[in-house]
């Protein structure tokens, strides 16, 4: 249902009418309940488990605790990636934030595999490294960069709380003027592969409106038959603010052109693209 040709218009109309705010109410209630749970127990660590994969995460405050528990709602997305990964494979986590996906899937690819976690925001980067250490994941490489179409330095607009994960190079939903901005290094993923970084078997891209640029900089790696799947969070609101309303359709075509032609919307914003079985 999510891949209707009229979907973008429906989304735009829903946002203009305030429907999306109503849809987010259950999530806000759930977050408030989890924050209350933190206030009662004051945990300093959280153990996350999903289908035999597990990881340890540092908990600093009530907001971070609620954010970490969101892996439960993301279980379907994590499973979609795990289905396309086996021991020894390489998983790229672009926009890793606290490392929820990266560390759980590190269990999936195992010691012979590798996870490459990209996170340019300094506060999130520090916590990601602590979580890697807490989980004792020797197969995780943290890369303190953003991916994009070309090498550059860009201004990242910061969210109020680092664990929110919605820092953006553009006018994202979570940018907080009080949090300020940071200059970050941007590099094409294909350039890193050319320099020796192992290319992805599966990749998650969650970059707050920069997803088209990331895909453009990864065309060769995504087109490789070794790449089985890409999960892209399409940030429709940010793309519209940028004047890129047609970007979601272009993202679909980019992925198809790379041979990831089996497309499925897992929810209104997450697009899973996999390679047809006969092409593997």
Domains of the chain: 74-279 (3.40.50.150)
Q: Per residue in 27-75, pLDDT tens?
A: 888 989 999 899 999 999 999 999 999 999 999 999 999 999 999 999 9
Residues contacting 150, CB < 8 A, separation 6+: 186, 188, 217
pLDDT band for 12, please (50, 70, 90 cuts): low
Cα 206 from Cα 231, distance rounded (Å): 8
pLDDT band for 267, please (50, 70, 90 cuts): very high
3-state helix, strand, coil in the chain (%, to 5): 40, 20, 35
Residues contacting 194, CB < 8 A, separation 6+: none
Residues contacting 11, CB < 8 A, separation 6+: 236, 268
Of 17-21, 93-97, 136-140, 164-168, the one with minimum mean pLDDT is 17-21
pLDDT at 170 (0 to 100): 83
pLDDT at 276 (0 to 100): 87
Q: What is the CA radius of gyration of the chain?
A: 18
Give the Cβ contact number of residue 211 at 10 Å.
Answer: 26
**pLDDT of 279 higher than 60:** no
């Amino acid at each position: 249902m999510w891949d209707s040709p009229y979907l973008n218009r429906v989304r735009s109309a829903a946002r203009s009418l305030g429907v999306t705010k109503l849809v987010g109410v259950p999530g806000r209630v759930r977050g408030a309940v989890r924050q209350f749970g933190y206030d009662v127990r004051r945990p300093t660590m959280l153990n996350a488990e999903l289908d035999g994969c597990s990881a340890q995460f540092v908990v600093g405050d009530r907001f971070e605790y609620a954010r970490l528990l969101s892996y439960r709602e993301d279980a379907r997305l994590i499973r979609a990636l795990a289905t396309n990964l086996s021991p020894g494979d390489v998983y790229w986590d672009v926009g890793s934030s606290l490392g929820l996906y990266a560390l759980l899937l590190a269990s999936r690819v195992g010691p012979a595999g590798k996870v490459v976690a990209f996170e340019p925001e300094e506060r999130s980067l520090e916590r990601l490294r602590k979580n890697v250490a807490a989980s004792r994941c020797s197969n995780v490489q943290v890369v303190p960069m953003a991916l994009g179409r070309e090498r550059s330095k860009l201004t990242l607009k910061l969210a109020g709380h680092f664990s929110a994960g919605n820092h953006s190079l553009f006018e994202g939903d979570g940018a907080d003027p009080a949090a300020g901005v940071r200059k970050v290094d941007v590099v094409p993923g294909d350039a890193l592969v050319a320099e020796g970084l192992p290319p992805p078997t599966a990749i998650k891209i969650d970059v707050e409106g920069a997803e088209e640029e990331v895909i453009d900089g990864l065309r060769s790696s995504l087109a490789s038959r070794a790449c089985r799947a890409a999960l892209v969070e399409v940030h429709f609101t940010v793309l519209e603010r940028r004047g890129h309303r047609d970007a979601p359709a272009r993202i679909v075509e980019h992925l198809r052109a790379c041979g990831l032609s089996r497309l499925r919307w897992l929810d209104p914003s997450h697009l899973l693209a996999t390679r047809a079985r006969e092409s593997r």
